[in-house]
Structure 1
Amino acid sequence: MSGSLAGRRVMVPETRELEVLARMLERHGAEALRCPLVAIIDLPDPAPAEAWLRRFIAAPPDDLILLTGEGLSRLLGVAQRAGIEPDFLAALRGTRRIVRGPKPQARLRTVGLSADLSAAEPTTAGVIATLSTQDLRGRRVGVQLYPDNPNHALLDFLRGAGAEPDPVLPYAYATKEDDARVLAMLEEMAAGRVDLAIFTATPQVRRLSALAAPERLRQALGRTRIAAVGPVVGQALEATGARVAVMPEESFHMKPMVNAILAAMGAPGAENHA
């Protein structure tokens, strides 16, 4: 296939929307090297999340902070399986809804709701900055967390502001590809045989960091052009010593990221392509 990415080999570690992203790249001629690093799974033990939902229903908090769209989806799944989804949605309608970025906002729209507050920047720091303008004294705040990140910074901020946070973790991560395949992909990158690696979530970076020797990881990332979906992922990559070459300036999700890749690689009119 001809296109602006013709002949480019692109490593794609995405899991949930792997085929969506791979097809976007392949439409422009790239060879997408599928290497999903992290899978999202239901909690092995849903009891704590169900107990949180029942607290939410019995005494709805003043605020709910949604950090990920997946978090709301999984909470709805737990509620559905427990037979309490209508009650959870009723309670959610009366709660001030605060989102970190576009994905939880989009997920709210699927149940007929919207965000009351949205962080100016889709990071924990952005949430804290937005909430710093609010009087939180005495407010009860539900906080949807995600795996591998207890988010002490956000919880400590809420307590310091006089709020009472009630966190919930509604899903878990599981590794997707076997270690040998991931290490083989890193060898391809270290040998300079991969033109671009696209990272869409910090757990992908953590998996590589846990699996590969630090020097070998630096070599692999150093010989490969790196794209990040947004600043949180970019910061995680930079912490490994990588240099992020491509990142959308705003709207940190897949289509803007592909547009940024096309623009960086010299595709004219990239905004119309993805």
Structure 2
Amino acid sequence: MSEILAGRRVMVPETRELEVLAKMLERHGAEALRCPLVAIVDAADPGPVEAWLRRFIATPPDDLILLTGEGLSRLIGVAERAGIEAEFRAALAGVRRVVRGPKPQARLRSIGLSADISAGEPTTAGVIATLSTQELRGRRVGVQLYPDNPNDALLDFLRGAGATPDAILPYAYATREDDARVEAMLGEMEAGRIDLAVFTSTPQVKRLAQLAGPARLRAALARTRIAAVGPLVGQALETAGGRVSVMPEDSFHMKPMVNAILAAMGAGSAA
């Protein structure tokens, strides 16, 4: 255990892996201030998701684009509850699987599969650039979307390339923390009492913006050193008025982010 972050107050707005990230930081002496901002829930109406799954099984597409690991987990969950999980997994094994980043890749590995194509950059633009090298005309493409992003750019690209996309949104975001607790954390940021805020998803930034408003969020971000897990989150923070000072160079998930934090705050040791 190191004490590189001893005395540093670090805001952690992660939800799904809150304790994992908080403990990684605490191992290095940080005081991790847990403030989970966003919860993930199943789609309010499972009907369209189940219908999409049954289409996928009956007439498997040529390709499936997985944008998030959570999306695949939710699809498997709906399939299990509908009694068609084995059929979905069998169909999934037979299609060309395209992933945007490491999380859907890891989720595929957890069920004994792998990606056939990985985006050069873990962004929508990266998926489009990678698929631009492929012949897509006449191909049917399943597309797993994620909340707050209809991803028109990707769907339009597929149509323009002669493919037929079949998109599905299998989950939703719901706010988790009460407003008073988030307000208190914003106040700490504005007062300059947070040494580092560690953001791991764009919905966290949106949640703060909804509560604080643009001007207040800019002021809070201006007083706080910011770490972002990857370029999408970094862009959202920059748009909100923040300046990202810590971000992994090429592997956009938690352990490399913690390593980047340690390096930026005076250490080169591994997390």
TM-score range with shorter-chain normalisation?
Answer: over 0.9
Mapping for residues 254-273 of structure 1, pairs under 5 Å: 254-267=254-267, 269-270=268-269, 272=270
Paired residue for 1:175? 175
Paired residue for 1:234? 234
SS at match of 1:153: helix
Paired residue for 2:46? 46
Mapping for residues 79-228 of structure 1, pairs under 5 Å: 79-228=79-228
Alignment gaps of 5+ in structure 2:
none
SS at match of 2:142: strand
Q: Which amino acid in the other structure matches residue 25 of structure 2? A: L
Q: Following the alignment from structure 1 to structure 2, what is the Cα–Cα distance between the partners of residues 249 and 2?
A: 23
State the shift of 1:213 in Å: 2.3
State the shift of 1:2 in Å: 6.5
Paired residue for 1:65? 65
Q: Which amino acid in the other structure matches residue 4 of structure 2? A: S
State the shift of 1:184 in Å: 1.1
Task: Compute the TM-score of the two structures, normalised by the length of structure 1.
Answer: 0.97
SS at match of 2:150: coil
Q: Following the alignment from structure 2 to structure 1, what is the Cα–Cα distance between the partners of residues 2 and 62?
A: 54
Q: Following the alignment from structure 2 to structure 1, what is the Cα–Cα distance between the partners of residues 171 and 145?
A: 9
Q: Following the alignment from structure 1 to structure 2, what is the Cα–Cα distance between the partners of residues 249 and 128?
A: 21
Q: Which amino acid in the other structure matches residue 228 of structure 2? A: A
Q: Percent identity?
A: 82
Q: Following the alignment from structure 1 to structure 2, what is the Cα–Cα distance between the partners of residues 214 and 93?
A: 45
Q: Following the alignment from structure 2 to structure 1, what is the Cα–Cα distance between the partners of residues 166 and 173?
A: 21
Q: Following the alignment from structure 1 to structure 2, what is the Cα–Cα distance between the partners of residues 96 and 126?
A: 17
Q: Which amino acid in the other structure matches residue 165 of structure 2? A: P
Q: Following the alignment from structure 2 to structure 1, what is the Cα–Cα distance between the partners of residues 261 and 171?
A: 31
CA RMSD of aligned residues (A): 0.9
State the shift of 1:153 in Å: 0.6
State the shift of 1:14 in Å: 0.1
Q: Following the alignment from structure 1 to structure 2, what is the Cα–Cα distance between the partners of residues 260 and 225?
A: 13
Q: Which amino acid in the other structure matches residue 223 of structure 2? A: R
SS at match of 1:166: strand
Structure 1 range deviating more: 114-123 or 207-216: 207-216
SS at match of 1:40: strand
Task: Compute the TM-score of the two structures, normalised by the length of structure 2.
Answer: 0.99
Q: Following the alignment from structure 2 to structure 1, what is the Cα–Cα distance between the partners of residues 135 and 251?
A: 28
SS at match of 2:6: coil
Query: How many residues in Structure 1 have an aligned counterpart in Structure 2?
Result: 271
Q: Following the alignment from structure 2 to structure 1, what is the Cα–Cα distance between the partners of residues 190 and 161?
A: 47
Q: Following the alignment from structure 2 to structure 1, what is the Cα–Cα distance between the partners of residues 196 and 241?
A: 16
Q: Which amino acid in the other structure matches residue 182 of structure 1? A: V
